[in-house]
Amino acid sequence: SVSASGFNDNEICDFVEMTRHKPIDVRFIEYMPFSGNKWETEKMVSYRDMLSIIKNKFDNFVDLPNAPNDTSKAWAVPGFAGQVGFITSMTEHFCGSCNRLRITADGNLKVCLFGNTEVSLRDALRSNCSEDDLTALISAAVKRKKKQHAGTNNSGTSFFKNIPIMNTKHAVFSSNLPFPQMLSRTMSTSSKFTHVDKYGKAHMVDVSGKSITSRTAVARASVYVGRKIAELIHANSIAKGDVLSVSQIAGIMAAKRTSDIIPLCHNIPLSSVNVKTELDLENSTVNIQSIVQCEGKTGVEMEALLCCTTAALTVYDMCKALSQDIVIGDVMLLHKVGGRTTYNRLGDKIEEPIILKKYETKPIAPIETFVPSHI
C-alpha cells in the first residue's frame, strides 16, 4: 500500500489489523515521485509517521530482524499471525545494500526502480555477444548504480523524475547499436585522460590538428519547484520577475562564458545558443533544454550543459524565497554531433557531420610596396 496524507493514511491501522489472523506480509511503501503522479511533499507519509500512527493503536508494535539485502523493514504485533513491512524509499535509503535487478518486457535491464536509465540486453543478445560480454555489460550497469537516489532536499527526502518501467523511449542504449558500441558506452576502454599530461599535470587539449566541423550539442535539466511555486510561475507572479524568460537569458549568457568557468574548456566562437524553458504545471517542474552550435575543432557539450544548469540555478534563485525544497535534477547531455564521435541518449538517428574546409591562415601578400603619400 502507498500511503498518501489525506487520502488513505486513515486506513494504515486497518491494514495492520489484517495480519491478526492471516499469515500475510503487509507492505507499506513511501509515496515516490514518479512522472505523472502529481507528487507533492505534503502528500507523503514517511516511515516514521506511519510507525507513530500504528503505535498509537498497537503500542507493542516491534521491529523484527532483517536480512542484509532486504529492501523492507519488518515489524509485527506480538501474537499476530502476519507481519508488516516498510519500504523507506524516500526517507531512509537502502540503495547501498539493494541487490534487485529488473528486466523490462522489451529486454532492458533496470538496476533501480527509481532510476531512469536502462541497458538493452535484448540488443546485446541479438548481436550474438558472448556470455562473458553479457556478464561484463550487466556488471558495468550494476557498478554505475548510485549509493542513494539522486536529489535530496533539506528534509531528508528525495525527488527524482522517473519513467515507468514499461516506457523505453529514454533507454540509454538504442536498439540499432551493435553490441561493441553499446559496451563502449558502459565501460571505459582507455585509461588515458586527455586533459592530463604524462606527468599528471592538467593541460588544455591541443586541437590544432583537428578538422573544422559543424558541431551541435543538446542538453537538458529540470527543476522541481512544488505546486505553489509552479502556479505562481504560471501566473507570472514571482516577485523577482518572469522566471522562464530570465532563466532563458541566463542560460544563453552562461554558454558564452563557459571557458571562463570550466578551466580546461576552449574558448569557442558559438554560432547559436537556443534555450527552451517550459513549465510542466501538472508535475510542478520547469523543464529546460539547450541547443548549442558552432563551427570549430572541438565540441560544445560543456556549453550546452552549463547553459542548462545555469538556467536551472536561476530558476532556483528567483524562487528560493518561497521554498528551499526546490530540487534541480535530470541534468544530462541528450546528444551531440560533429567531430569524430556522435552520441544520442534517446536513440534517434543522427546524421554525420559535414567537414568544412580549413580556414586560410596565410597572410595576404601586398602586390606592391606601400609608399605614404606625404613622402
Amino acid at 135: T
Residues 66 and 110 in one domain: no
Residues 125 and 46 in one domain: no
Q: Which residue is associated with the grid cell 590538428?
A: 209
Of the listed ranges 64-68, 89-93, 237-241, the one predicted with least confidence: 89-93
Q: Which residue has the higher pLDDT, 195 or 150?
A: 195
User: Is residue 372 in some structural domain?
Assistant: no
Residues 79 and 127 in one domain: no
User: Residue 330 catalytic?
Assistant: no
Per-residue pLDDT at 372 exceeds 90: no
Average model confidence (pLDDT) across the chain:
79
Residues 296 and 222 in one domain: yes
Can you tell me the mean pLDDT for 128-132? 83
- Of 66, 87, 108, the one marking the end of a domain is 87
DSSP helix/strand/coil, 286: strand
Of the listed ranges 63-67, 167-171, 339-343, the one predicted with least confidence: 167-171
For 323, the domain range is 212-356
pLDDT for 6-65, tens place per residue?
889 999 999 999 999 999 999 998 887 765 556 677 888 999 999 999 999 999 999 999
DSSP helix/strand/coil, 214: strand
- Tally of structural domains, the chain: 3
Rounded distance between C-alpha atoms, residue 251 and residue 301, angstroms = 14
DSSP helix/strand/coil, 12: helix
Instruction: Express as a percent the part of the chain with pLDDT over 70.
Output: 74
Residues 21 and 51 in one domain: yes
pLDDT for 303-324, tens place per residue?
999 999 999 999 999 999 999 8
Which listed residue (197, 317, 325, 330) is catalytic?
Answer: 317
pLDDT at 314: 97
Rounded distance between C-alpha atoms, residue 84 and residue 79, angstroms = 13
pTM of the model: 0.46
What are the φ and ψ backbone dihedral angles of 86, each rounded to 5 degrees? -125, 125
Residues 295 and 179 in one domain: no
pLDDT at 168: 37
Task: Give start and end residues of each alpha helix (H) in the chain.
Answer: 12-17, 47-57, 121-126, 131-143, 179-186, 227-234, 243-256, 258-261, 301-319
Rounded distance between C-alpha atoms, residue 248 and residue 312, angstroms = 9
Of the listed ranges 28-42, 120-134, 230-244, 347-361, the one predicted with least confidence: 347-361
Among 3, 114, 95, smallest CA distance to 49 is for 3
pLDDT for 71-117, tens place per residue?
889 999 999 999 999 988 888 877 777 788 888 888 888 887 766 67
* Residue 122 C-beta-side C-alpha neighbours within 13 Å: 15
Per-residue pLDDT at 292 exceeds 90: yes
Q: What is the CATH number of the domain that holds 306?
A: 3.30.70.640
